[in-house]
Homo-oligomer: A and B are copies of this chain.
Amino acid sequence: MLGFVHQIPVMIDRASPVPLYHQLAEQLTAAVEDGTLQPGDPFENELALADRLDLSRPTVRRAIAELVSRGLLVRRRGVGTAVASEVIHRRDELTSLFEDMERKGKRPITRVLDIDRHSVTPRAAAALNLPQDTPLFYVERLRLAGDIPTALMHNWLPPQFADITEEELASGSLYAVLRARGVRPVVAHQTIGARRPRSAERKRLDLAPGDPLLTMTRRAYDAAGTAIEFGDHCYRFDQYAFDVTVHER
C-alpha cells in the first residue's frame, strides 16, 4: 500500500483486567469517531499493527472485527482495511428527537404523576410472563423539554421492584434505577405505531384536536430471558421520532 497510513497512537496496559483486544478496539473506535481517521483512509494492516503493539495477530484481528461488525471499518481480502464511509457509521442504534434535544442543552424534566405498588393489570402481567392477577409496580411519568410535554410513559415492573421510591425515579431514568439494583436489560422488543389520543392523553400532552400520537410499547428482558419491564409510551408527534439503523447480513 503506497498511500500514507496513519499510525494511531495506542496504549496497551497488560496489567489491566480489561482484555487486550477490547482496549485496542476502544482506542481504534475513538480514533475513527473523533475524526482522527477520515472515511476512506487506509488502515494500518493487521500484521503491522500486531508487530507495532507487540500483540498477536488474533488479538489485533479480534479488535478490528469489533469495529467491522459495528460498521466502522471495511475489510477486503488482498486489499486491506479502510475506514467506512461516513453514512455507514452514524451511531444511532435507537435515538430520538428527545436525546437530540438533550444534546442541544434543553434539560429534560421527568415528573412522576402516579405510582401504584400493587397494580393488577392483566395486559402488563401477561407481557411480563406473570399470572394475570400478579400485583405489579406501576409508574406513570411525564417527560418535558423546557415547557413542552414530549412523552407520557406508563411502566410496569415485577413485584420485587415494589420498593422503588419516587425519589429514585425523579433523579434519573428508569433503566438507571434498575441498573443500580444489579438488573441489566439485555434485549428489548419494541413496537412502534400511531393512533388517536385518548382524552386524558390529549390533556397531559397538551395536544390540539386532530393531533396524532406516536406510540411505543416495550418488553425488556435480562440475559436469562426474564421479563424485567413492560412499557407503554405515548409521544407528541412533533417532538419525537425513532431512528433505527438496520444492517443487512
Instruction: Return the CB mask of A206-249 against B: 1 if under 8 Å, else 0.
Output: 00001111100001010111110000000001101111111110
Size of the chain A interface, CB-CB below 8 angstroms: 49
Minimum CB–CB distance from A150 to chain B (whole Å) comes to 13
A194 CB to nearest chain B CB (Å): 4
Q: Which of B88, B188, B194, B240 contacts A187 (CB 8 A)?
A: B88
Write the A175-191 contact mask toward B (1 if CB under 8 angstroms, else 0): 00000000011111111
Q: Contact at A241–B192, with CB atoms within 8 Å? A: yes
Contacting pair B225 A86 (CB below 8 A)? yes
Question: A93 near B: Cβ within 8 Å?
Answer: yes
| A15-41 interface (Cβ within 8 A of B) | 39
Question: Is A187 within 8 A of B94, CB to CB?
Answer: no
A94 CB to nearest B CB, Å: 6
Instruction: List B contacts of A246 (CB < 8 A).
Output: 93-94, 187-188, 190
User: Is A196 interfacial (CB-CB < 8 Å)?
Assistant: yes
Q: Is the CB of A195 within 8 A of B212?
A: yes
Whether B194 contacts A87 by the Cβ 8 Å rule is no
Q: Cβ of A242 and Cβ of B187 under 8 Å apart?
A: no
A225 touches B87 (CB 8 A): yes
A122 interface residue per 8 A CB criterion = no
CB pair A224 B85 closer than 8 Å: yes
| Assembly stoichiometry (copies) | 2
A92 contacts the other chain (Cβ, under 8 Å)? Answer: yes
Does A84 sit at the interface, judged by CB under 8 A? yes
Pick the residue among B74, B88, B184, B211 that contacts A196 (CB under 8 A).
B211
Contact yes or no, B191 A243, CB < 8 A = yes
Q: Does A105 contact B (CB under 8 A)?
A: no
Convert A51-82 into 0s and 1s, putting 1 for each residue whose CB lies closer than 8 angstroms to a CB of B. 00000000000000000000100100000000
Q: Which of A94, A226, A246 has the most CB of B within 10 A?
A: A246
Asked if A204 lies at the interface with its beta carbon under 8 angstroms from chain B, I say no
Q: For the complex, give the distance between the alpha carbons of A85 and B245 in Å.
A: 25
Q: List 21 A-B contacts (CB under 8 A).
A: A39-B225, A86-B225, A87-B189, A87-B227, A88-B187, A88-B221, A88-B225, A94-B244, A184-B248, A185-B248, A187-B248, A188-B246, A189-B245, A191-B243, A192-B242, A192-B244, A193-B242, A195-B237, A196-B211, A212-B212, A244-B244
What are the 3 A-B residue pairs with the smallest beta carbon separation, nearest first? A85-B225, A212-B212, A194-B194
